[in-house]
Amino acid sequence: MDQKFKVGELVRKIHQKEIIGEVVKFNIVQAQVAYQIRLQNNEVVTLFENSLERYLGAMDVRDYFISGSFGNKDSFVRLSTFNKLAGGFTSNPTSLKSSRTIFNPYQYKPLLKFLLTNDRRLLIADEVGLGKTIEAGHIILEMNARNNLKNFLVVCPKSLVFKWRNELYDKFYFETEIIGSKEFLNYLDDYELGRFRGIKGIISYQTIRSRVIINRLKEVNPEFDMIIFDEMHWARNETSLTHRLVRQISEFSDSVIGLTATPIMIGSTNLYNLLRILNPAEFPNEYDFNLRLRDNEPIVKAIYHVGKKDFNEALNELDKLNDVVSKSEYFDSFLFNEIKQRLIENNTENSHVIRLLKDLTEFNLLSHIITRTRRRDVEVKTKRDPHIKKIQFSNIELSFYKLVTSHIRKKYNLIGKQKGINFALIMPQRQVASCINVALEIFLSKPDFTEYIDEIQNGEFEEFDRENNNNEQEESNTNFSEFNSGLKELASSFVNLREMPDSKFNAFIEIIEESLKSNSESKILVFSFFKGTISYLFKKLKEQSYQAYLISGQVSNEERNDILRKFRKNNDIRILLSTEVGSEGLDFEFCNVLINYDLPWNPMVVEQRIGRLDRIGQKFNRIKIFNFSVSETIESLMLERLYERIEIFKNSIGDLESILGEEINELTKDLFSQELSIEEEEERIERTSRIIEQRIHDAKSLEDESPGLLTYDEYFKQELESILTERRYVTDTELFIYVKEFLRSNFPESIIRDTENEYEKNLKVSEKLLFEIKKFLQASGLLNEIFFDFEKAIINSDNRDVKVTFNSDEAFKNKSLVYINNFHPLILFISTHYSSDLEKIFPVSSIVISYHGLEMGAHFYFTYIFESLGIQKRKYMKTFFIDSNLNEVAKDSDGARLVAFLIDNGHDQDPKELRISVGFRELIEKADNLALNYQLEMETELVHKNEVYLNKQKQIIERTINNQINRLNSTINEVKADLKRSKIIPALEGKIKKLEENKEIALLDLTTKQNVDVQSKLIAAGVINNLGGV
């Protein structure tokens, strides 16, 4: 019998179109022709003739479809996954569920907002404990996938640099380095000289805010792809060096993200200062900003009412803006009228509501630049369970405490005028309140007072550092010899305290014993203000046969993180002792007991302590918080009159440092600047408590009652739900299939297998595959620690078999698993393999399903990518479905859900078995017409948006430069009459001329951005046989 294919001819498998090879030999066996085929990886396989077809070379999707050359369901899934991994889609984040984190939907809201902004500026203003670092990490991961971030900075407090580095690597596979002033200045020098080298750095405010660096930034003007400012409220004071630095460096970045927990409650001025840093052209002055807040309020209320489908109330709110919209440069009047018209139509269908929410969100004057989630908006299951341990000092302990307190009061006003020095002077009293035994030894042994001063200037005391983070500290030459000699003389009369029981420690041990016995999983975090107290507790616990870890500001960041890792994993040691700075930036969501061995007087420091445990991811439903109340002490009054009153141990009060700090400072001065009786102390603390309670109430009312300050983000909640239900992201199942099919076809000696755990897989990686991945990464400049960790795991495993997961939640729970996410070297290698030859991801498929949302019989799908260039960059992937009568079916979200169903439930269908009554050319023509209409609608919408955006930019440019020119003209008029000063007029006129030129250039640049071009491309097509039916 004659064979169909000749030796040397190219063929491919009919149902696995990506498998292509050359015929090297054939045999006839029992009337069947069998061919030996050399595949592209040089492997030789034997296949029968009826499973092969002639390979005619690369063709267009339309050619394959018209010729009836269909692949199988795997081809469809492979192509879908490949395109979603390629990313860049406006509303399809590639990074969704691709980090080693627990999935919390609200943490993706900032990312969705960021992707829709043209200016790439965003202030993330969530309340404390909701994971702003993770939210920023999602944005970093997404933007690195889209644009390959080469110049990237995180600027944060010094104590957080290691947290940022570790979080970005451990959770997001994003490598950074911690950089100091020398490294950063070297980078600026290289940049200036054209020796461009990328930088992915974490740098502290304390390092970068030096005048030398600020001046070099002005001289060099380096461009950054992205900058993250953590704790951005450090820059809220516009006269500070930090503010100047943040403004300066923001100008050079394509993308800027600020993180803060405080802007809503600190009032509009501070919020304005932060937003002005992000976009000074959009927020030129506070007056206009306040007008914008006022005008924004009806919009926020309208969004709320639309979310409730109360269109009449929404319309009433928007009617308040009728006059404003017609006159204001901020508003898009066309969109405003269109929204009102659709509200009048009163169409409550879900798709209509979502479109209204989308347009209103776009109309919102602040939504594009600020995002805020509150704890009450998120399901936080953890309850705070406070306990007060009452203690009675022995007579000698109480006598020592009172004498030291009296001594401090007498000396408080005699030495120093600096806030820092005054704060330092009360430290001996605070130490006595913390631990009498430690205070005694310090007073007896310290020759001077430098330990307290050094600790303050080095940031050991959190309260001081919060108040003075923007001020340059000066060295003090104050002589404390008289002060110290008094303390030493006082302490020498109490040396017998060393031999007496420590009342406070004995109560502490009772709490430790009870906590460890009551719950075998309990882990205890003990806080003290002083490292001396922490060291004392460590020693005393050891004497009582309790093991513990210890961290303070003197422990290096590397060692701190190592201790945290051990404490997290080691169930034999269940106690950690820490100072404020020792634990700053570390998360203890695995602990359920907090012991405040002493209480800072600033409630915000207490809130920060509790916040180390009370945060998203807390594994326990209840956190026990223990505090000591020692009779007849100032601290017991603070606990009972202040902390109990504001309920800080029961509920989070948020980050209110800016409104509490001043009151606490005044209270401190009053308590130590004069001799007060117990009753007077009580009355003074009570007065401060009432003031703070009222300020907390006012601050929260400001947020609750002034929605104009907020952005009601119902649309983004709905959009995320759509992304999830319509599967517009790569699921762990899709990624697993992507890897499995690739290995089977290209590296059969490498195998991935299921295990008893649904989310855990066994991956055997051959030497050949690992070598090829490494070679690819080296050639691409992508070789990094992620690959080396992967390589190490393979080499150290038994038989090169490693345990892996594709599921982000499982990766978070089990850190021992290798996490293969969308950006893992293995996935990058696979996608690059396919992109080098698109024939390997065959674009046409034939699939059978049983789907009750569609008529029975043959249907056809056609997937297009639509992309716009220019300022209004948008990219969408849309699938059209057509039945045998050339009617469009399964439109919009129904179509997206059908695609997801095909991936999950589809099976291979032999197209020859189908009865198709319509011509393939007619189907292509119908699909192209649908795509053209969509393309035209998209272009029309973007042309309008572009016009509105450019008009706003034109007005901003003209207003900003005209204001500068008017100020210069005013100065010229003022100095004309002054002969001496009139000499500067030519220079001022020169500046005016330069500004006019800059304005002309900027306006001309806008005209080059007027065009909007939308292009489309058919990337997939196929036939669906539905056996189910409506």
- List the one residue out of 824, 868, 853, 879 whose CA is nearest residue 1021: 879
Q: What pLDDT is stored for residue 670 in this prediction?
A: 64
**Between β-strands 44-48 and 177-178, what pairing exists: parallel, antiparallel or unpaired?**
unpaired
* pLDDT of 697 strictly over 60: yes
Measured CA distances, 1007 to 333, 384, 996, 1000, 1002 (Å)? 22, 58, 17, 11, 9
- Cα separation, 635 vs 599, in Å, equals 7
- List the one residue out of 237, 159, 123, 155 whose CA is nearest residue 468: 237
Query: DSSP labels for 547-573?
Result: --EEE-TTS-HHHHHHHHHHHHH-SS-
Mean pLDDT, residues 283-312 taken together: 87
Q: Is residue 197 very low, low, confident or very high in pLDDT (cuts 50, 70, 90)?
A: confident
Which residues are paired to 285 by β-bridges? none
* pLDDT of 464 strictly over 50: no
- Per-residue pLDDT tens over the stretch 714-748: 788 888 888 888 888 999 999 999 999 999 889 99
Q: What pLDDT is stored for residue 585 in this prediction?
A: 65
- Per-residue pLDDT tens over the stretch 508-537: 999 999 999 989 889 999 999 888 899 999
Q: Which residue in this structure is represented by tokens 């001022």?
A: 988
- Cα separation, 83 vs 824, in Å, equals 16
**Higher per-residue confidence, 133 vs 350:** 133
Tell the CATH topology of 1-57: SH3 type barrels. (2.30.30)
For residue 569, count CB atoms less than 10 angstroms from its CB and return exposed for 0-12, middle for 13-18, buried for 19 or more. Answer: exposed
Q: What pLDDT is stored for residue 1023 in this prediction?
A: 95
Q: What pLDDT is stored for residue 574 in this prediction?
A: 94
**Higher per-residue confidence, 110 vs 694:** 110
Are 497 and 400 in contact, with CB atoms under 8 Å apart? yes
Q: What pLDDT is stored for residue 577 in this prediction?
A: 95
- Cα separation, 316 vs 306, in Å, equals 12
Q: What pLDDT is stored for residue 54 in this prediction?
A: 84
Measured CA distances, 805 to 105, 148, 755, 813 (Å)? 21, 25, 11, 11
Percent of the chain scoring above 90 in pLDDT: 32
Tokens of 42: 């040089």
Beta strands in 884-945 (DSSP E): 888-889, 907-908
Are 705 and 301 in contact, with CB atoms under 8 Å apart? no
Query: What is the separation of C-alpha 662 from the centre of its chain, rounded to a whole number of angstroms?
Result: 31
**Higher per-residue confidence, 781 vs 665:** 781
Average pLDDT across the chain, whole number: 83
Q: What is the enclosing helix (H) or strand (E) of 1014?
A: strand 1014-1026
Q: What is the CATH number of domain 105-377+710-721?
A: 3.40.50.10810
Q: What is the enclosing helix (H) or strand (E) of 737?
A: helix 732-746
- List the one residue out of 713, 650, 703 whose CA is nearest residue 364: 713
Q: What pLDDT is stored for residue 543 in this prediction?
A: 93
Mean pLDDT, residues 159-166 taken together: 87
Q: Is residue 593 very low, low, confident or very high in pLDDT (cuts 50, 70, 90)?
A: very high
Mean pLDDT, residues 154-182 taken together: 91
Mean pLDDT, residues 83-97 taken together: 89
Sign of the alpha-carbon torsion through 390, 393, 398, 401: negative
Q: What pLDDT is stored for residue 511 in this prediction?
A: 94
Q: Residue 687 phi/psi, 5° resolution? A: -65, -45
Written as one letter, the residue type at 317 is E
**Higher per-residue confidence, 598 vs 838:** 598
When mean pLDDT is compared across 183-187, 795-799, 969-973, 977-981, the lowest value belongs to 977-981
Q: What pLDDT is stored for residue 413 in this prediction?
A: 64
Q: What pLDDT is stored for residue 454 in this prediction?
A: 38
Q: What pLDDT is stored for residue 287 in this prediction?
A: 86
Crossing angle of helices 714-725 and 286-307, rounded to 10°: 50
Mean pLDDT, residues 951-960 taken together: 81
Tokens of 900: 């997801």
- List the one residue out of 1025, 730, 675, 684 whose CA is nearest residue 856: 1025
Q: What pLDDT is stored for residue 463 in this prediction?
A: 40
* pLDDT of 923 strictly over 70: yes
Residues 144/145/147/151 CA torsion (nearest 10 deg): 20
Q: What pLDDT is stored for residue 619 in this prediction?
A: 81
Q: Which residue in this structure is represented by tokens 């299951």?
A: 381
Measured CA distances, 942 to 393, 419, 683, 936, 939 (Å)? 74, 56, 64, 10, 5
Write down the pTM of the prediction: 0.79
* pLDDT of 263 strictly over 70: no
Q: What pLDDT is stored for residue 361 in this prediction?
A: 87
* Domain residue limits, the chain: 1-57, 61-73+839-1030, 105-377+710-721, 383-392+498-707, 398-472+479-492, 731-821
Q: What pLDDT is stored for residue 240 in this prediction?
A: 85
* pLDDT of 977 strictly over 90: no
**Higher per-residue confidence, 681 vs 549:** 549
Which residues are paired to 849 by β-bridges? 1026
Q: Tell me, yes or no, if the two domains 1-57 and 105-377+710-721 fold the same way.
A: no
Sign of the alpha-carbon torsion through 188, 193, 194, 197: negative
Asked if CATH classification 3.40.50.2300 holds for the domain at 383-392+498-707, the reply, yes or no, is no
Q: Which residue in this structure is represented by tokens 């004498």?
A: 403
**Higher per-residue confidence, 809 vs 265:** 809
Q: What pLDDT is stored for residue 656 in this prediction?
A: 52
- Per-residue pLDDT tens over the stretch 814-859: 888 999 999 999 999 999 999 877 777 889 999 999 998 889 999 9
Q: What pLDDT is stored for residue 654 in this prediction?
A: 53
Contacts of 227 (CB under 8 A, 6+ apart): 152, 153, 154, 155, 249, 250, 253, 255, 256, 257
- Per-residue pLDDT tens over the stretch 3-19: 888 888 899 888 777 78
- Per-residue pLDDT tens over the stretch 888-898: 999 888 898 89
- List the one residue out of 1020, 834, 829 whose CA is nearest residue 927: 1020
Q: Is residue 457 very low, low, confident or very high in pLDDT (cuts 50, 70, 90)?
A: very low
Q: Is residue 1 very low, low, confident or very high in pLDDT (cuts 50, 70, 90)?
A: low
3-class SS of residue 201: strand
Mean pLDDT, residues 229-258 taken together: 87
DSSP 71: B
Longest pairwise C-alpha distance within the chain: 116
**Between β-strands 857-868 and 874-883, what pairing exists: parallel, antiparallel or unpaired?**
antiparallel
- List the one residue out of 153, 147, 145, 117 whose CA is nearest residue 226: 153
- Per-residue pLDDT tens over the stretch 539-588: 999 999 999 999 987 887 778 878 888 898 888 899 999 987 766 667 88
- Cα separation, 179 vs 189, in Å, equals 15
